[in-house]
Amino acid sequence: MSRIDETFSRLKGEGRQALIPYITAGDPHPDHSAGLMHALVAGGADIIELGMPFSDPMADGPIIQLACERALMAGTTLRRTLAMVAQFRRTNRNTPVVLMGYLNPIERFGLDAFAAAAEQAGVDGVLIVDLGLEEADSYLPVLTARGLAPIFLLSPTTPLARMARIAEHASGYLYYVSLKGVTGAANLDVAAVAAQVQALRGVTALPVAVGFGIRDPATAAAVAQIADGVVVGSALVNQIAELAEQPEALPARLTATLSALRNAMDAR
């Protein structure tokens, strides 16, 4: 059983939902990322999504776009991102790490080389935002052969039949995008999300994590009532931006923010 599967199985037995924070690798500087990952775990993270910086993050709003710019300006590459995961793994062998990003950096790295390096670094899953199901056949066997769970996005506009097809090719969990828009949007309709998640549960047994638009403890608690996992990204990345010139203050800030989300989810 993979680390992702073990995590969701344990949480299900405890009657809890996964808290899945996202940060961009190398933001505000590559030297800080492994420490920030540990700070997220200290705050209650069950799975970490680590963004692979890219110059054209088309599904992301301005907060994460600027994070990618900061990371790239600081010299973050995909190879350095994998080194961050390896550094994190020196003292944390249990928390799953999912790389999230776009296809171009992986293509430039080389798919086979990337999969091998990701496995060696201790990556558990890969979510490639712009990899459609129709183009995935040549990628998925390479990833799964290295123990990397292919994780897919589903959106409010994804037909149920297509959701079922995507679920057949996915593993780990499914990431349901809670709204029509980019990361950081604020118009979350929990009732609408609940209906879609319920429909999705009818076509797959995979855990369903919900992200986009979750920015505070109250929203996290509401989503935890309907999903198996709660993904929080832009709210954390915005805090990193606010303290980019004071990186020594970041670990405590992220731990406190995530602890508040975790407590709200567990107290619902």
In whole angstroms, give the CA distance from residue 88 to residue 70: 21
Phi, psi of 168 (to 5 degrees): -65, -25
Whole-number Å distance between alpha carbons of 95 and 19? 11
Active site annotation includes 60: yes
Order of strands, sheet of 97-101, starting from the edge strand that comes earlier in the sequence:
149-150, 125-128, 97-101, 48-51, 18-24, 229-232, 208-211, 174-177, 153-154
User: Of these residues, 46, 49, 124, 228, which one is catalytic?
Assistant: 49
Q: Which two tokens stand for residue 155?
A: 């959106």
Quick check: 206 and 5 in contact, CB under 8 A? no
- Burial (Cβ within 10 Å: 0-12, 13-18, ≥19) of residue 135: exposed
| Chain position carrying tokens 């923010």 | 257
Q: Which of 46, 60, 124, 228 is catalytic?
A: 60
DSSP 60-118: S-HHHHHHHHHHHHTT--HHHHHHHHHHHHTT-SSS-EEEEE-HHHHHHH-HHHHHHHH
Phi, psi angles (nearest 5°) of residue 266: -80, -20
Give the residue numbers annotated as catalytic, written as ranges: 49, 60
